[in-house]
A = this chain, B = another copy of it.
């Protein structure tokens, strides 16, 4: 894989090494996280639409909640570009609240599915996975 060389190289460098961040790297990084989020949501969508066995339903919700938190962290550096509008940072309070709500709601669904069964969460999936409502405001489509 393309990052293997970087990993080998960096195994010799402490992870906490101080350095200046390249803007392209910051944009690429949050892009990876969004891709992961998108792929997990697409996989979950296939379960919810009964195309695929539901074995991983809780694991997808867990992954989405975890990745939403990663994503918010990845936006902390103010670097407009990629598909992110400057509005992300101009309206940081709203943006971060939406992302935190997304993380919290999906984590809550995972918990509910654990305790009450998977059927108990299907109806709330739509409002929890409100990707579009944020993308409409904060994303420039490529």
Total copies of the chain: 2
A119 interface residue (CB < 8 Å to B):
yes
With A48-B10, A51-B21, A52-B25 in contact, is A41–B3 under 8 Å at CB? yes
A69 interface residue (CB < 8 Å to B):
yes
Contact flags A33-51 to B (C-beta < 8 A → 1, else 0): 1011011111111111111
**Are B60 and A70 interface neighbours, CB within 8 A?**
yes
**Are B63 and A11 interface neighbours, CB within 8 A?**
no
Having A11-B122, A33-B43, A53-B77, one finds 11 other A-B pairs with CB under 8 Å, namely A1-B38, A6-B49, A7-B129, A15-B119, A15-B122, A17-B50, A21-B52, A36-B43, A56-B73, A56-B74, A59-B67
